[in-house]
Structure 1
Amino acid sequence: MAIKDELDDELKAAMRTHDRNRTDVVRQISTEVARAVKAPGFTGEADDALYRKTIASYAKKMGKALAEYERLGDRGAEAAAKLKFEVEYLARWLPKAVAEEEVAVFVDAAVQALGAADMQAMGQVMGYLMKHHPGLDGSVVSRLVKARLSEN
């Protein structure tokens, strides 16, 4: 079943059960996808790849906001709980996280394949990795690439 169809079914079920949190997050994803489709330069259609990219982007933003609300303690507890639900709820449509050890193997292979010898090649290595391994956490990849290229 396509992600759009799953989300439509989820929205209907959430509305039937008056689940406000699920209704809000599904509607927000639909809004984000609509924005992406209407964005200048977008060509194509709203397929599963666009939905996954949009969900990943939204979940990442909400994850960052969650960390901020958690730092506020009791003042941000209610908002943090809502954001935590959203991030956990959307996780089913996200690719499984790759272990850091596996990312390190990808980094080593990319450095060897490109013949990267110093930090000046960091952008090239990052681009190669993100193109060939979509779904990797960019911050983890960046940290490992820096460490690997600093060794040389």
Structure 2
Amino acid sequence: MSLKDRIGEQIKAAMKAKDKLRLETVRSIKKAILEKEVSVRPQGQEELTQEQEIELVSQLAKQRRDSIAQYRDAGRDDLADLEAQELVILEEFLPKQLSEAEIQAVVDEQIAKVGATSPKDMGKVMGPLMQQLKGRADGKTVQEIVKHKLSQ
């Protein structure tokens, strides 16, 4: 079942359950997918690939994480809590996120593969690493781990 189909089912379920927050969040995902589909049509692509869908939902989740941090800094815990609830719903549509230990193992493997030894080699490590971990790990977390490993 494609993400678009799952979203449709979730919208129906949220309407039946009268779950306003879930309905709004799932509708926002559907809206983002439809907008992205319209933008790729000139390239001759009718629907998004699974990778594009995951990337899109990842972007929405990242926006929520950034908003949570900004709201907390501004002392608006009420809005931060709302964004956190939306983030939980968005994460249901993403692949299982890797734990920090799993990310560190992949980072160690990539560092050994490219022979990186200093923070100057960060670009050599991050590019292939983010392709490998796309949708399964937060880029900020990966960057912090790589930076820490290369500065030792």
Normalising by structure 1, we get a TM-score of 0.83
Q: Letter of the aligned partner of 2:53 in structure 1?
A: Y
Query: Superposition pairs for residues 103-118 of structure 1, below 5 Å?
Result: 103-118=103-118
Quote the sequence identity (%): 30
Q: Alpha-carbon deviation of 1:14?
A: 2.0
Q: Which residue in 1 is equivalent to 2:147?
A: 146
Query: Superposition pairs for residues 24-63 of structure 1, below 5 Å?
Result: 24-39=24-39, 44=45, 45-63=47-65
Q: Which runs of 5+ in 1 are unaligned?
A: none
Q: Alpha-carbon deviation of 1:89?
A: 1.3
Shift in alpha-carbon separation, 1:42–1:53, aligned structure 2, 3 A? farther
The range that moved more, 104-113 or 78-87, is: 78-87
Q: Which residue in 2 is equivalent to 1:86?
A: 86
Q: Alpha-carbon deviation of 1:38?
A: 2.8
Shift in alpha-carbon separation, 1:84–1:42, aligned structure 2, 3 A? farther
Q: Alpha-carbon deviation of 1:129?
A: 0.8
Q: Which runs of 5+ in 2 are unaligned?
A: none
Which deviations, in whole Å up to 9, do the C-alpha atoms of 1:30-64 show, x marking residues without a partner? 11112222336866422433222211110111122
Give the aligned length: 149
- Paired with 2:138 and 2:7, the residues of 1 have a C-alpha distance of 24
SS at match of 1:93: coil
SS at match of 1:98: coil
- Contact 1:4/1:48, CA 8 A, preserved across alignment: no
Shift in alpha-carbon separation, 1:103–1:25, aligned structure 2, 3 A? same
- Contact 1:33/1:50, CA 8 A, preserved across alignment: no
Q: Letter of the aligned partner of 1:137 in structure 2?
A: D
Which deviations, in whole Å up to 9, do the C-alpha atoms of 1:107-149 show, x marking residues without a partner? 2211111122222221110011112232222112212222222
The range that moved more, 122-131 or 137-146, is: 137-146
Structure 1 runs (4+) greater than 4 angstroms displaced: 40-43
Q: Alpha-carbon deviation of 1:68?
A: 2.2
Q: Which residue in 1 is equivalent to 2:125?
A: 125
- Contact 1:29/1:55, CA 8 A, preserved across alignment: yes
